[in-house]
Amino acid sequence: MKESQRTQREERTQRERPVRVFARVFLIFVSFVSLVVIQTSSQLAAARNGVIRGRVEIRRVMPQVERRPGVTDLGAPAARDVDDRLRSVVYLESAPRRAFEVDEGGRKVMDQRNETFVPHLLAIMTGTTVDFPNSDKFYHNVFSLSKPARFDLGRYSAGRSRSIRFDRPGIVRVFCDIHSHMSAFILVFGHPYFAVTDSQGRYHIDNVPPGSYAVIAWNEGNASEPKPVMVPDGGAAELDFALR
């Protein structure tokens, strides 16, 4: 009886041996992979992001968009504000992988004031909702026929606002259906590495992981050729543009 029990135990031990070997090998593999991942992560964390900064110079004459001659008007039209058309957008042509995991989903405002969109140029990330309040005493009708966002917000009066969420990257031209001289640009990016220039044409794109990139400057439908730039670890790269 005892002999038969011993035989059965030995047989079971022999059957389970490959399983145990496999389990040990698996544990070693998992430990190795974990070590590699931890090491890589710590290396990643150690790399400090940098900045791309510079200036965009507009070298062409930028005439203001005037009203269509109101020959049918019974009197002169009211004075209106003028667009700030000298601002540009600077952005990375292609961006690091982690950039596309960001889903900002914030809100921005493009006001309608004195028959002008303010700001005239807005740069946002996909998922951003833009509010279009009407700050004039009369109707406006915001619309766009651009492929990334085709919309028409209808006519609405002073103090009211309508919104649109931009989910596709691209250039969106915005107009008013009532005032043909009103226009604006919204540039929608799939990554956060872009900046709008200030009134002096200066820009800085923050928090860029170290590496080599191609950078583009864009103004009123004109884009520069991509310019290469190397962002050092924790440092700043300088890059100027001249748009004709």
Residues interacting with another protein, by CB under 8 A?
47, 63-76, 78, 91-97, 100, 126, 137-139, 143-148, 150-152, 154-158, 168-171, 173, 175, 180-181, 183, 187-191, 209-213, 216, 218, 221-223
In the bound complex, what is the minimum distance in angstroms from residue 28's beta carbon to another protein?
A: 29
Distances (CA, A) of 191 to 62, 184, 196, 235: 29, 21, 14, 21
To another protein, the closest distance from the beta carbon of 109 in angstroms equals 21
Q: Which is nearer to another protein, 25 or 136 (CB)?
A: 136
Q: Are 217 and 243 in contact (CB under 8 A)?
A: yes
Nearer to another protein, 146 or 197 (CB): 146
Q: Which is nearer to another protein, 18 or 75 (CB)?
A: 75
To the nearest whole angstrom, how small is the minimum distance from the Cβ of residue 139 to another protein?
5
Least Å from the CB of residue 242 to another protein: 17
SS3 state at 87: coil
Number of separate helices (H) and strands (E) present in the chain: 1, 19
CA 49 from centroid of its chain's CA atoms: 17
Instruction: Tell me the CB-side half-sphere exposure of residue 73, using CA atoms within 13 A.
Output: 8
Altogether, the residues listed in the chain come to a count of 244
Q: Which is nearer to another protein, 145 or 242 (CB)?
A: 145
